[in-house]
Structure 1
Protein backbone atom coordinates (compact mmCIF):
# COMPACT_ATOMS: atom_id res chain seq x y z
CA UNK A 1 0.00 0.00 0.00
CA UNK A 2 2.87 2.41 0.77
CA UNK A 3 6.29 2.74 -0.82
CA UNK A 4 8.07 2.08 2.50
CA UNK A 5 8.32 -1.35 4.15
CA UNK A 6 8.43 -0.23 7.77
CA UNK A 7 6.64 3.16 8.06
CA UNK A 8 6.89 3.34 11.87
CA UNK A 9 10.68 2.97 11.97
CA UNK A 10 11.00 5.30 8.98
CA UNK A 11 8.86 7.92 10.74
CA UNK A 12 11.07 7.64 13.85
CA UNK A 13 14.22 8.05 11.71
CA UNK A 14 12.66 10.99 9.83
CA UNK A 15 11.70 12.65 13.15
CA UNK A 16 15.23 12.22 14.53
CA UNK A 17 16.80 13.56 11.33
CA UNK A 18 14.47 16.56 11.23
CA UNK A 19 15.02 17.25 14.94
CA UNK A 20 18.81 17.12 14.56
CA UNK A 21 18.73 19.36 11.49
CA UNK A 22 16.55 22.05 13.08
CA UNK A 23 18.14 21.91 16.54
CA UNK A 24 21.61 22.02 14.98
CA UNK A 25 20.84 25.46 13.52
CA UNK A 26 19.90 26.93 16.91
CA UNK A 27 21.68 27.87 20.12
CA UNK A 28 21.33 25.66 23.17
CA UNK A 29 19.62 28.44 25.07
CA UNK A 30 17.07 28.91 22.30
CA UNK A 31 16.31 25.18 22.17
CA UNK A 32 15.85 24.88 25.91
CA UNK A 33 13.83 28.05 26.45
CA UNK A 34 12.18 30.47 24.04
CA UNK A 35 12.54 28.69 20.70
CA UNK A 36 10.69 25.47 21.49
CA UNK A 37 7.40 26.32 19.77
CA UNK A 38 9.16 27.61 16.65
CA UNK A 39 11.28 24.44 16.52
CA UNK A 40 8.17 22.25 16.84
CA UNK A 41 6.41 24.18 14.04
CA UNK A 42 9.41 23.87 11.70
CA UNK A 43 9.72 20.18 12.54
CA UNK A 44 6.10 19.57 11.54
CA UNK A 45 6.63 21.31 8.18
CA UNK A 46 9.88 19.50 7.36
CA UNK A 47 8.70 16.08 8.60
CA UNK A 48 5.49 16.34 6.52
CA UNK A 49 7.52 17.30 3.46
CA UNK A 50 9.81 14.24 3.88
CA UNK A 51 6.86 11.93 4.60
CA UNK A 52 5.23 13.13 1.38
CA UNK A 53 8.46 12.53 -0.61
CA UNK A 54 8.76 9.01 0.84
CA UNK A 55 5.04 8.33 0.33
CA UNK A 56 4.68 7.15 3.94
CA UNK A 57 0.97 7.86 3.99
CA UNK A 58 1.38 9.67 7.29
CA UNK A 59 0.58 13.31 8.00
CA UNK A 60 1.94 14.88 11.18
CA UNK A 61 -0.39 17.38 12.86
CA UNK A 62 1.62 18.32 15.93
CA UNK A 63 5.00 17.75 17.50
CA UNK A 64 5.46 18.43 21.21
CA UNK A 65 8.95 18.76 22.58
CA UNK A 66 8.94 17.21 26.06
CA UNK A 67 11.71 17.35 28.64
CA UNK A 68 14.26 19.24 26.62
CA UNK A 69 17.48 18.91 28.63
CA UNK A 70 21.13 19.38 27.73
CA UNK A 71 23.23 16.21 27.51
CA UNK A 72 24.76 15.02 30.81
CA UNK A 73 28.39 15.81 29.89
CA UNK A 74 27.56 19.50 29.32
CA UNK A 75 24.80 19.93 31.89
CA UNK A 76 27.07 21.48 34.56
CA UNK A 77 28.55 23.95 32.05
CA UNK A 78 25.09 24.82 30.77
CA UNK A 79 23.85 25.49 34.32
CA UNK A 80 26.91 27.67 34.98
CA UNK A 81 26.20 29.65 31.81
CA UNK A 82 22.54 30.09 32.83
CA UNK A 83 23.58 31.27 36.29
CA UNK A 84 26.06 33.71 34.76
CA UNK A 85 23.36 35.07 32.44
CA UNK A 86 20.98 35.52 35.36
CA UNK A 87 23.70 37.32 37.34
CA UNK A 88 24.40 39.48 34.29
CA UNK A 89 20.71 40.41 34.00
CA UNK A 90 20.62 41.18 37.72
CA UNK A 91 23.66 43.44 37.44
CA UNK A 92 22.21 45.16 34.37
CA UNK A 93 18.94 45.77 36.23
CA UNK A 94 20.84 47.12 39.25
CA UNK A 95 22.87 49.42 36.99
CA UNK A 96 19.70 50.67 35.29
CA UNK A 97 18.12 51.26 38.70
CA UNK A 98 21.18 53.21 39.85
CA UNK A 99 21.18 55.14 36.57
CA UNK A 100 17.51 56.02 37.06
CA UNK A 101 18.30 57.27 40.58
CA UNK A 102 21.39 59.32 39.78
CA UNK A 103 20.86 60.76 36.29
CA UNK A 104 17.47 62.45 36.88
CA UNK A 105 18.80 63.95 40.13
CA UNK A 106 21.92 65.23 38.38
CA UNK A 107 19.83 66.57 35.51
CA UNK A 108 17.61 68.39 37.99
CA UNK A 109 20.62 69.86 39.76
CA UNK A 110 22.11 70.94 36.43
CA UNK A 111 18.82 72.58 35.44
CA UNK A 112 18.64 74.31 38.82
CA UNK A 113 22.20 75.61 38.43
CA UNK A 114 21.43 76.88 34.93
CA UNK A 115 18.30 78.66 36.16
CA UNK A 116 20.22 80.21 39.06
CA UNK A 117 22.91 81.41 36.65
CA UNK A 118 20.30 82.85 34.31
CA UNK A 119 18.59 84.54 37.26
CA UNK A 120 21.92 85.95 38.46
CA UNK A 121 22.70 87.24 34.96
CA UNK A 122 19.26 88.85 34.68
CA UNK A 123 19.69 90.43 38.12
CA UNK A 124 23.13 91.82 37.20
CA UNK A 125 21.83 93.23 33.93
CA UNK A 126 18.82 94.80 35.63
CA UNK A 127 21.01 96.26 38.40
CA UNK A 128 23.39 97.66 35.80
CA UNK A 129 20.50 99.19 33.86
CA UNK A 130 19.17 100.67 37.10
CA UNK A 131 22.58 102.13 37.95
CA UNK A 132 22.85 103.60 34.45
CA UNK A 133 19.41 105.18 34.78
CA UNK A 134 20.34 106.52 38.23
CA UNK A 135 23.63 107.90 36.92
CA UNK A 136 21.88 109.51 33.94
CA UNK A 137 19.31 111.11 36.25
CA UNK A 138 22.06 112.49 38.52
CA UNK A 139 24.01 113.69 35.50
CA UNK A 140 20.98 115.57 34.17
CA UNK A 141 20.63 117.33 37.53
CA UNK A 142 24.38 117.95 37.65
CA UNK A 143 24.27 119.69 34.25
CA UNK A 144 21.53 122.00 35.53
CA UNK A 145 23.22 123.01 38.83
CA UNK A 146 26.71 121.48 39.26
CA UNK A 147 27.56 122.96 42.70
CA UNK A 148 24.33 121.83 44.38
CA UNK A 149 24.63 118.32 42.94
CA UNK A 150 28.30 118.03 44.04
CA UNK A 151 27.42 119.14 47.58
CA UNK A 152 24.45 116.69 47.74
CA UNK A 153 26.62 113.77 46.54
CA UNK A 154 29.36 114.75 49.04
CA UNK A 155 26.91 114.89 51.95
CA UNK A 156 25.29 111.56 50.99
CA UNK A 157 28.72 109.92 50.77
CA UNK A 158 29.85 111.33 54.12
CA UNK A 159 26.54 110.23 55.65
CA UNK A 160 27.24 106.64 54.64
CA UNK A 161 30.99 106.67 55.46
CA UNK A 162 31.11 108.47 58.83
CA UNK A 163 29.01 105.96 60.82
CA UNK A 164 31.51 103.25 59.88
CA UNK A 165 34.57 105.17 61.16
CA UNK A 166 34.10 104.59 64.88
CA UNK A 167 35.91 106.93 67.36
CA UNK A 168 38.17 109.32 65.39
CA UNK A 169 39.71 112.74 66.04
CA UNK A 170 39.91 115.23 63.21
CA UNK A 171 42.51 118.02 63.24
CA UNK A 172 43.13 120.85 60.82
CA UNK A 173 46.20 120.81 58.62
CA UNK A 174 48.33 122.87 61.05
CA UNK A 175 47.34 120.82 64.09
CA UNK A 176 45.96 123.80 65.95
CA UNK A 177 42.32 122.90 66.26
CA UNK A 178 41.26 119.45 67.50
CA UNK A 179 37.77 118.39 66.62
CA UNK A 180 36.53 115.07 68.06
CA UNK A 181 34.21 113.27 65.74
CA UNK A 182 31.20 112.24 67.73
CA UNK A 183 29.47 108.99 67.08
CA UNK A 184 26.30 110.07 65.37
CA UNK A 185 23.55 107.65 64.65
CA UNK A 186 21.82 108.46 61.44
CA UNK A 187 18.24 107.44 61.21
CA UNK A 188 17.33 105.65 58.08
Structure 2
Protein backbone atom coordinates (compact mmCIF):
# COMPACT_ATOMS: atom_id res chain seq x y z
CA UNK A 1 0.00 0.00 0.00
CA UNK A 2 1.04 3.65 -0.40
CA UNK A 3 2.89 5.34 2.37
CA UNK A 4 0.06 7.74 3.15
CA UNK A 5 -2.89 5.35 3.08
CA UNK A 6 -4.83 4.50 6.29
CA UNK A 7 -3.56 1.49 8.16
CA UNK A 8 0.09 2.20 7.54
CA UNK A 9 0.77 2.02 11.27
CA UNK A 10 -0.11 5.67 11.51
CA UNK A 11 3.57 6.62 11.81
CA UNK A 12 3.37 9.17 9.01
CA UNK A 13 6.65 8.06 7.29
CA UNK A 14 7.47 9.42 3.77
CA UNK A 15 9.02 7.27 1.08
CA UNK A 16 12.51 8.57 1.95
CA UNK A 17 12.22 6.92 5.42
CA UNK A 18 12.00 10.18 7.23
CA UNK A 19 9.22 10.55 9.77
CA UNK A 20 6.84 13.45 9.49
CA UNK A 21 5.80 13.54 13.12
CA UNK A 22 4.03 16.54 14.27
CA UNK A 23 3.20 17.45 10.66
CA UNK A 24 6.83 18.45 9.84
CA UNK A 25 6.96 19.44 6.16
CA UNK A 26 10.76 19.95 5.96
CA UNK A 27 13.20 18.17 3.53
CA UNK A 28 14.30 14.58 4.20
CA UNK A 29 17.50 13.86 6.08
CA UNK A 30 20.55 13.57 3.81
CA UNK A 31 21.95 10.63 5.68
CA UNK A 32 18.70 8.76 5.30
CA UNK A 33 18.62 9.50 1.58
CA UNK A 34 22.14 8.12 1.12
CA UNK A 35 21.26 5.00 3.11
CA UNK A 36 18.15 4.43 1.00
CA UNK A 37 20.06 4.88 -2.25
CA UNK A 38 22.68 2.40 -1.07
CA UNK A 39 20.04 -0.17 -0.31
CA UNK A 40 18.43 0.36 -3.69
CA UNK A 41 21.73 -0.23 -5.49
CA UNK A 42 22.24 -3.39 -3.49
CA UNK A 43 18.82 -4.71 -4.46
CA UNK A 44 18.93 -3.82 -8.15
CA UNK A 45 19.10 -7.39 -9.30
CA UNK A 46 16.81 -8.81 -6.61
CA UNK A 47 13.14 -9.40 -7.18
CA UNK A 48 11.08 -8.26 -4.20
CA UNK A 49 7.32 -8.49 -3.56
CA UNK A 50 5.01 -5.65 -2.99
CA UNK A 51 4.65 -6.32 0.81
CA UNK A 52 6.96 -6.68 3.75
CA UNK A 53 9.05 -4.11 5.49
CA UNK A 54 12.72 -3.91 6.55
CA UNK A 55 14.09 -3.86 9.98
CA UNK A 56 14.34 -0.06 9.82
CA UNK A 57 10.70 0.27 9.05
CA UNK A 58 11.26 1.68 5.45
CA UNK A 59 8.81 0.71 2.70
CA UNK A 60 9.71 -2.00 0.11
CA UNK A 61 11.47 -1.11 -3.18
CA UNK A 62 9.31 -1.73 -6.21
CA UNK A 63 10.49 -3.65 -9.32
CA UNK A 64 9.45 -0.81 -11.59
CA UNK A 65 11.74 1.66 -9.85
CA UNK A 66 14.70 -0.75 -10.10
CA UNK A 67 14.15 -1.28 -13.84
CA UNK A 68 13.98 2.44 -14.56
CA UNK A 69 17.21 3.11 -12.71
CA UNK A 70 19.01 0.40 -14.67
CA UNK A 71 17.73 1.79 -17.95
CA UNK A 72 18.83 5.31 -17.00
CA UNK A 73 22.29 4.16 -16.09
CA UNK A 74 22.54 2.17 -19.33
CA UNK A 75 21.58 5.23 -21.36
CA UNK A 76 24.19 7.35 -19.60
CA UNK A 77 26.86 4.74 -20.21
CA UNK A 78 25.91 4.44 -23.87
CA UNK A 79 26.01 8.22 -24.34
CA UNK A 80 29.41 8.48 -22.71
CA UNK A 81 30.71 5.56 -24.78
CA UNK A 82 29.37 7.16 -27.95
CA UNK A 83 31.09 10.45 -27.23
CA UNK A 84 34.33 8.62 -26.56
CA UNK A 85 34.30 7.33 -30.15
CA UNK A 86 34.62 10.77 -31.77
CA UNK A 87 38.09 12.01 -32.80
CA UNK A 88 39.64 14.51 -35.22
CA UNK A 89 42.39 13.71 -37.74
CA UNK A 90 44.53 16.71 -38.70
CA UNK A 91 45.53 17.53 -42.27
CA UNK A 92 49.07 16.20 -41.81
CA UNK A 93 47.92 13.00 -40.09
CA UNK A 94 46.47 9.67 -41.11
CA UNK A 95 44.65 7.26 -38.84
CA UNK A 96 45.21 3.51 -38.61
CA UNK A 97 42.27 1.60 -37.08
CA UNK A 98 42.75 -1.66 -35.21
CA UNK A 99 39.53 -3.54 -34.43
CA UNK A 100 40.14 -6.17 -31.80
CA UNK A 101 43.82 -6.08 -32.84
CA UNK A 102 43.14 -6.52 -36.56
CA UNK A 103 44.01 -3.63 -38.87
CA UNK A 104 41.22 -2.22 -41.00
CA UNK A 105 41.80 -1.87 -44.73
CA UNK A 106 40.99 1.81 -45.01
CA UNK A 107 43.30 4.51 -43.67
CA UNK A 108 41.41 7.32 -41.97
CA UNK A 109 41.90 10.68 -43.66
CA UNK A 110 41.69 14.22 -42.25
CA UNK A 111 38.43 15.33 -40.62
CA UNK A 112 35.99 14.34 -37.86
CA UNK A 113 35.48 10.59 -37.49
CA UNK A 114 33.81 8.14 -35.16
CA UNK A 115 34.83 4.64 -34.22
CA UNK A 116 33.42 2.54 -31.43
CA UNK A 117 35.51 3.08 -28.35
CA UNK A 118 37.17 0.08 -26.70
CA UNK A 119 36.32 -1.99 -29.79
CA UNK A 120 38.55 0.08 -32.14
CA UNK A 121 41.94 1.52 -31.36
CA UNK A 122 42.97 4.45 -33.62
CA UNK A 123 46.63 5.43 -34.04
CA UNK A 124 47.22 8.89 -35.54
CA UNK A 125 50.44 9.10 -37.59
CA UNK A 126 51.93 12.34 -38.97
CA UNK A 127 52.89 11.59 -42.59
CA UNK A 128 53.91 15.15 -43.61
CA UNK A 129 56.40 16.09 -40.92
CA UNK A 130 60.08 15.75 -41.83
CA UNK A 131 61.66 13.97 -38.89
CA UNK A 132 65.37 14.15 -38.17
CA UNK A 133 67.74 12.18 -36.00
CA UNK A 134 71.42 12.82 -35.35
CA UNK A 135 73.86 10.02 -34.65
CA UNK A 136 77.19 10.79 -33.02
CA UNK A 137 79.37 7.78 -33.75
CA UNK A 138 82.70 7.55 -31.96
CA UNK A 139 85.78 5.48 -32.71
CA UNK A 140 84.74 4.04 -36.06
CA UNK A 141 87.29 1.94 -37.91
CA UNK A 142 88.08 2.73 -41.58
CA UNK A 143 89.35 0.36 -44.23
CA UNK A 144 92.95 1.58 -43.73
CA UNK A 145 92.67 0.78 -40.00
CA UNK A 146 92.35 4.36 -38.81
CA UNK A 147 89.80 5.62 -36.30
CA UNK A 148 87.51 8.59 -36.85
CA UNK A 149 84.56 10.27 -35.12
CA UNK A 150 81.64 11.02 -37.43
CA UNK A 151 78.31 12.78 -36.92
CA UNK A 152 75.49 11.91 -39.33
CA UNK A 153 71.99 13.38 -39.57
CA UNK A 154 69.15 11.26 -41.01
CA UNK A 155 65.94 12.94 -42.25
CA UNK A 156 62.94 10.71 -42.90
CA UNK A 157 59.20 10.67 -43.57
CA UNK A 158 56.55 8.13 -42.56
CA UNK A 159 55.34 7.03 -45.95
CA UNK A 160 53.19 4.02 -45.04
CA UNK A 161 51.35 4.53 -41.71
CA UNK A 162 49.93 0.99 -41.66
CA UNK A 163 53.36 -0.64 -41.91
CA UNK A 164 54.73 1.87 -39.42
CA UNK A 165 52.11 0.80 -36.85
CA UNK A 166 51.89 -2.97 -37.27
CA UNK A 167 55.04 -4.24 -39.07
CA UNK A 168 57.61 -3.39 -36.36
CA UNK A 169 57.10 -3.15 -32.65
CA UNK A 170 59.32 -0.09 -32.28
CA UNK A 171 60.07 1.60 -35.64
CA UNK A 172 62.20 4.34 -34.11
CA UNK A 173 64.47 1.83 -32.40
CA UNK A 174 64.74 -0.12 -35.66
CA UNK A 175 65.79 3.09 -37.42
CA UNK A 176 68.47 3.74 -34.79
CA UNK A 177 69.93 0.25 -35.11
CA UNK A 178 69.80 0.30 -38.92
CA UNK A 179 71.46 3.73 -39.05
CA UNK A 180 74.26 2.59 -36.78
CA UNK A 181 74.83 -0.49 -38.93
CA UNK A 182 74.77 1.43 -42.23
CA UNK A 183 77.18 4.10 -41.00
CA UNK A 184 79.67 1.54 -39.68
CA UNK A 185 79.49 -0.46 -42.91
CA UNK A 186 80.13 2.55 -45.16
CA UNK A 187 82.89 4.01 -42.96
CA UNK A 188 84.56 0.62 -42.83
CA UNK A 189 84.63 0.49 -46.63
CA UNK A 190 86.33 3.86 -47.17
CA UNK A 191 89.75 5.32 -46.48
CA UNK A 192 90.19 7.93 -43.82
CA UNK A 193 91.41 10.62 -46.22
CA UNK A 194 88.32 10.21 -48.37
CA UNK A 195 85.96 10.58 -45.41
CA UNK A 196 87.78 13.61 -43.99
CA UNK A 197 88.21 15.51 -47.27
CA UNK A 198 86.48 15.01 -50.60
CA UNK A 199 84.58 11.79 -49.94
CA UNK A 200 81.93 13.05 -47.51
CA UNK A 201 79.23 13.43 -50.12
CA UNK A 202 79.81 9.91 -51.39
CA UNK A 203 79.69 8.57 -47.82
CA UNK A 204 76.32 10.27 -47.30
CA UNK A 205 74.98 8.77 -50.54
CA UNK A 206 76.16 5.28 -49.63
CA UNK A 207 74.64 5.50 -46.13
CA UNK A 208 71.39 6.76 -47.62
CA UNK A 209 71.09 3.86 -50.05
CA UNK A 210 72.00 1.21 -47.50
CA UNK A 211 69.73 2.62 -44.79
CA UNK A 212 66.78 2.79 -47.19
CA UNK A 213 67.35 -0.84 -48.16
CA UNK A 214 67.26 -1.80 -44.47
CA UNK A 215 63.99 0.09 -43.96
CA UNK A 216 62.47 -1.64 -46.98
CA UNK A 217 63.54 -5.06 -45.70
CA UNK A 218 62.05 -4.37 -42.26
CA UNK A 219 58.90 -2.94 -43.90
CA UNK A 220 58.81 -0.04 -41.46
CA UNK A 221 56.96 2.32 -43.81
CA UNK A 222 59.73 4.94 -43.50
CA UNK A 223 61.21 6.85 -46.40
CA UNK A 224 64.74 8.22 -45.92
CA UNK A 225 64.64 11.72 -47.34
CA UNK A 226 68.28 12.72 -46.91
CA UNK A 227 71.48 11.79 -45.07
CA UNK A 228 74.07 14.44 -44.21
CA UNK A 229 77.58 14.00 -42.86
CA UNK A 230 77.69 16.88 -40.40
CA UNK A 231 81.24 16.38 -39.21
CA UNK A 232 84.05 13.87 -39.52
CA UNK A 233 87.18 14.29 -37.44
CA UNK A 234 90.03 12.12 -36.21
CA UNK A 235 90.18 11.36 -32.50
CA UNK A 236 91.10 14.25 -30.22
CA UNK A 237 94.48 12.72 -29.31
CA UNK A 238 95.79 12.86 -32.88
CA UNK A 239 93.75 15.75 -34.28
CA UNK A 240 96.67 18.21 -34.40
CA UNK A 241 98.71 15.83 -36.56
CA UNK A 242 95.83 15.38 -38.96
CA UNK A 243 95.36 19.15 -39.12
CA UNK A 244 98.97 19.42 -40.28
CA UNK A 245 98.29 16.79 -42.93
CA UNK A 246 95.27 18.72 -44.16
CA UNK A 247 97.31 21.95 -44.35
CA UNK A 248 100.02 20.15 -46.32
CA UNK A 249 97.41 18.75 -48.69
CA UNK A 250 95.95 22.20 -49.25
CA UNK A 251 99.42 23.56 -50.01
CA UNK A 252 99.94 20.69 -52.44
CA UNK A 253 96.72 21.53 -54.22
CA UNK A 254 97.75 25.20 -54.36
CA UNK A 255 101.11 24.31 -55.93
CA UNK A 256 99.37 22.03 -58.42
CA UNK A 257 96.99 24.83 -59.37
CA UNK A 258 99.90 27.23 -59.85
CA UNK A 259 101.69 24.64 -61.98
CA UNK A 260 98.58 24.13 -64.06
CA UNK A 261 98.26 27.90 -64.51
CA UNK A 262 101.91 28.17 -65.61
CA UNK A 263 101.39 25.23 -67.94
CA UNK A 264 98.43 26.96 -69.52
CA UNK A 265 100.59 30.02 -70.10
CA UNK A 266 103.72 28.33 -71.44
CA UNK A 267 102.21 25.60 -73.59
CA UNK A 268 100.61 27.98 -76.14
CA UNK A 269 103.94 29.84 -76.45
CA UNK A 270 105.82 26.58 -76.96
CA UNK A 271 103.29 25.46 -79.53
CA UNK A 272 103.70 28.76 -81.36
CA UNK A 273 107.49 28.40 -81.37
CA UNK A 274 107.20 24.83 -82.59
CA UNK A 275 104.90 25.89 -85.40
CA UNK A 276 107.28 28.67 -86.37
CA UNK A 277 110.21 26.25 -86.48
CA UNK A 278 108.15 23.89 -88.60
CA UNK A 279 107.40 26.71 -91.02
CA UNK A 280 111.07 27.71 -91.11
CA UNK A 281 112.07 24.11 -91.73
CA UNK A 282 109.58 23.87 -94.59
CA UNK A 283 110.94 27.10 -96.07
CA UNK A 284 114.52 25.85 -95.75
CA UNK A 285 113.50 22.60 -97.34
CA UNK A 286 111.99 24.43 -100.29
CA UNK A 287 115.12 26.58 -100.54
CA UNK A 288 117.48 23.58 -100.52
CA UNK A 289 115.37 21.76 -103.05
CA UNK A 290 115.32 24.79 -105.33
CA UNK A 291 119.07 25.27 -104.96
CA UNK A 292 119.74 21.59 -105.66
CA UNK A 293 117.53 21.72 -108.68
CA UNK A 294 119.39 24.85 -109.86
CA UNK A 295 122.80 23.20 -109.31
CA UNK A 296 121.65 20.11 -111.13
CA UNK A 297 120.46 22.23 -114.04
CA UNK A 298 123.73 24.19 -114.11
CA UNK A 299 125.72 20.96 -113.98
CA UNK A 300 123.76 19.60 -116.92
CA UNK A 301 124.50 22.75 -118.89
CA UNK A 302 128.16 22.58 -117.89
CA UNK A 303 128.31 18.96 -118.97
CA UNK A 304 127.05 19.97 -122.35
CA UNK A 305 129.79 22.60 -122.68
CA UNK A 306 132.41 20.20 -121.34
CA UNK A 307 131.49 17.71 -124.02
CA UNK A 308 132.13 20.38 -126.64
CA UNK A 309 135.51 21.72 -125.28
CA UNK A 310 136.93 19.68 -122.39
CA UNK A 311 140.25 21.55 -121.91
CA UNK A 312 138.75 24.99 -121.98
CA UNK A 313 135.96 24.00 -119.67
CA UNK A 314 138.33 22.30 -117.24
CA UNK A 315 140.59 25.38 -117.12
CA UNK A 316 137.65 27.62 -116.59
CA UNK A 317 136.36 25.49 -113.75
CA UNK A 318 139.78 25.56 -112.09
CA UNK A 319 140.01 29.33 -112.34
CA UNK A 320 136.50 29.80 -110.98
CA UNK A 321 137.22 27.50 -108.07
CA UNK A 322 140.46 29.25 -107.28
CA UNK A 323 138.76 32.62 -107.45
CA UNK A 324 136.07 31.49 -105.05
CA UNK A 325 138.67 30.23 -102.60
CA UNK A 326 140.93 33.25 -102.84
CA UNK A 327 138.17 35.78 -102.46
CA UNK A 328 136.95 34.07 -99.31
CA UNK A 329 140.36 33.93 -97.60
CA UNK A 330 142.26 36.70 -95.86
CA UNK A 331 145.55 34.76 -95.52
CA UNK A 332 147.48 32.82 -98.15
CA UNK A 333 150.22 30.22 -97.65
CA UNK A 334 152.42 29.79 -100.80
CA UNK A 335 154.61 26.73 -101.28
CA UNK A 336 157.76 27.90 -103.04
CA UNK A 337 158.81 25.55 -105.77
CA UNK A 338 162.18 23.90 -105.21
CA UNK A 339 162.48 25.06 -101.60
CA UNK A 340 161.48 23.98 -98.13
CA UNK A 341 159.99 27.28 -97.01
CA UNK A 342 156.37 28.44 -97.02
CA UNK A 343 155.54 32.00 -97.93
CA UNK A 344 152.89 33.56 -95.70
CA UNK A 345 150.91 36.44 -97.17
CA UNK A 346 148.73 38.30 -94.63
CA UNK A 347 146.30 39.83 -97.06
CA UNK A 348 144.19 41.42 -94.35
CA UNK A 349 147.17 43.31 -92.96
CA UNK A 350 148.38 44.31 -96.39
CA UNK A 351 144.95 45.56 -97.35
CA UNK A 352 144.80 47.62 -94.17
CA UNK A 353 148.16 49.26 -94.94
CA UNK A 354 147.49 49.89 -98.59
CA UNK A 355 144.54 51.60 -100.06
CA UNK A 356 143.04 49.49 -102.78
CA UNK A 357 141.86 51.01 -106.02
CA UNK A 358 138.31 50.09 -105.21
CA UNK A 359 138.36 51.98 -101.95
CA UNK A 360 139.13 49.06 -99.62
CA UNK A 361 136.86 46.45 -101.17
CA UNK A 362 137.94 43.14 -102.64
CA UNK A 363 138.91 43.17 -106.33
CA UNK A 364 136.09 42.34 -108.61
CA UNK A 365 137.54 42.99 -112.07
CA UNK A 366 140.66 41.85 -113.92
CA UNK A 367 142.18 45.29 -113.72
CA UNK A 368 141.77 45.38 -109.98
CA UNK A 369 143.38 41.97 -109.65
CA UNK A 370 146.32 43.14 -111.74
CA UNK A 371 146.79 46.11 -109.47
CA UNK A 372 146.63 43.82 -106.45
CA UNK A 373 149.23 41.53 -108.04
CA UNK A 374 151.52 44.49 -108.52
CA UNK A 375 151.10 45.32 -104.87
CA UNK A 376 152.01 41.79 -103.88
CA UNK A 377 154.92 41.40 -106.31
CA UNK A 378 157.63 42.58 -103.83
CA UNK A 379 156.62 39.85 -101.45
CA UNK A 380 156.93 37.05 -103.97
CA UNK A 381 160.23 35.21 -104.84
CA UNK A 382 162.30 36.78 -107.61
CA UNK A 383 163.27 35.04 -110.83
CA UNK A 384 166.92 34.57 -109.76
CA UNK A 385 166.25 32.37 -106.80
CA UNK A 386 163.44 30.09 -105.90
CA UNK A 387 163.27 30.88 -102.20
CA UNK A 388 164.41 34.51 -101.92
CA UNK A 389 162.20 37.54 -102.00
CA UNK A 390 163.07 40.40 -104.32
CA UNK A 391 164.02 43.08 -101.81
CA UNK A 392 164.76 45.59 -104.50
CA UNK A 393 161.26 45.40 -105.77
CA UNK A 394 159.99 45.96 -102.24
CA UNK A 395 162.15 49.10 -101.97
CA UNK A 396 160.84 50.36 -105.30
CA UNK A 397 157.29 49.96 -104.06
CA UNK A 398 156.51 47.01 -106.30
CA UNK A 399 157.58 48.65 -109.56
CA UNK A 400 159.60 46.41 -111.97
TM-score by length of 1: 0.60
Residue 22, structure 1, aligned to residue 230, structure 2 = no
Once residues 276 and 192 of structure 2 are traced to their aligned partners in structure 1, the CA distance between those partners, rounded to angstroms, is 51
Structure 2 matches for 1:1-188, cutoff 5 A? Answer: 2=166, 5-32=169-196, 34-54=198-218, 57-65=220-228, 67-71=230-234, 72-141=236-305, 144=308, 159=366, 162=369, 165=372, 167-169=375-377
Structure 2 runs not aligned, ≥5 long? 1-164, 324-364, 386-392
User: Aligned partners of 2:308 and 2:172: how far apart in 1?
Assistant: 122
Q: Which residue of 2 aligns with 1:185?
A: none
CA distance in 2 between counterparts of 1:143 and 1:37 reads 91
RMSD, aligned α-carbons: 4.5
Number of residue equivalences? 178
CA distance in 2, matches of 1:21, 1:164: 105
Distance 1:116 1:163 in 2: 44
Structure 1 distance, partners of 2:313, 2:277, is: 43
C-alpha displacement of 1:16: 1.9
- Indicate the structure with greater strand content: 2
- Distance in 1 (CA, whole Å) between partners of 2:179 and 2:371 is 104
Kindly provide the CA deviation profile for residues 91-146 of structure 1, in whole angstroms up to 9, marking residues without a partner as x: 22233334444455445445544544454454344334323433443554465567
Distance 1:114 1:164 in 2: 49
Distance, in Å, in 1 between the alignment partners of 2:171 and 2:231 is 26
Name the structure where helix makes up a greater proportion of residues. 1
Residue pair 2:168, 2:218 contacting (<8 A) in 1 also: yes
Residues 136, 43 of structure 1: CA spacing in aligned structure 2 closer, same or farther, 3 A cutoff? closer
Equivalent position SS for 1:90: helix
Q: Distance in 1 between matches of 2:259 and 2:309?
A: 74
Distance in 1, matches of 2:300 and 2:398, equals 34
**Residues 37 and 125 (structure 1), Cα distance of their counterparts in 2 relative to 1, 3 Å cut:** closer
Q: Highest Rg: 1 or 2?
A: 2
Give the number of the structure with larger relative contact order, counting CA–CA contacts within 8 Å between residues 6 or more apart: 1
**Per the alignment, do residues 43 and 130 of structure 1 end up closer, same or farther by CA in structure 2, a change over 3 Å counting?**
closer
Partner-residue secondary structure (3-state), 2:232: coil
